Amino acid sequence: MPAPQDPTEPCGRVRLDKWLWAARFYKTRGLAGEEVARGRVQVNGTATKPAREVRVGDRIELQQGPLRRMVVVRALSGVRGPAPVAALMYEETAESVAERQRQAELRRLAPEPALAQAQGRPTKRERRTLDHWRQRDPAPDWDQRWSVRLDEREPRR
């Protein structure tokens, strides 16, 4: 069995899905491959396949949920290492950082949807009261409509 590779040691050729996994953009290599196959990752402005080889200097644009990130490859590694080492493998562009900070600020300022509900779920006591009202005033029988049926209308004169 070969010795594990040092993540800081440069290597010659690395697949895109493996590099994305090693750089800690995705939790598993399979997930990285799926995202590339779905077209959510572009290299140098073009959609690619998971087996594409990454080179130093490539611009990778990837989408993680609602967030789009643009990074430039600074180092290659096919081994997933610690997060501080993985952060040295790429450099995020200034536009990407600014957009990420803008999105974070928008999320921070957005109201919490749960706070819009003034009362929330009814308590057990309130549910029993509602059930009591429903039993006392049953729902209308929709077969007994107020409108007239076609066959019951008077003939026109």
CATH number of the domain that residue 45 is part of: 3.10.290.10
Single-letter code of the amino acid located at 135: Q
Is residue 137 included in any domain, yes or no?
Answer: no
pLDDT level of residue 36 (50, 70, 90 thresholds): very high
Is residue 6 included in any domain, yes or no?
Answer: no
Query: Which pTM was predicted?
Result: 0.65
pLDDT, position 55: 94
* Cα 57 to Cα 74: distance, rounded to the nearest angstrom: 6
Is residue 7 included in any domain, yes or no?
Answer: no
54: domain range?
14-109
More confident residue, 5 or 143: 143
Is residue 63 included in any domain, yes or no?
Answer: yes
Average pLDDT of the segment spanning 55-59 = 94
Tokens of 24: 């800690």
Rounded to a whole number, what is the distance in angstroms from the first to the last CA of the chain? Answer: 100
Q: pLDDT tens digits, residue range 109-143?
A: 887 776 666 667 888 998 999 888 888 776 666 66
What is the count of structural domains for the chain? 1
Given a cut of 60, whether residue 13 has pLDDT beyond it is yes
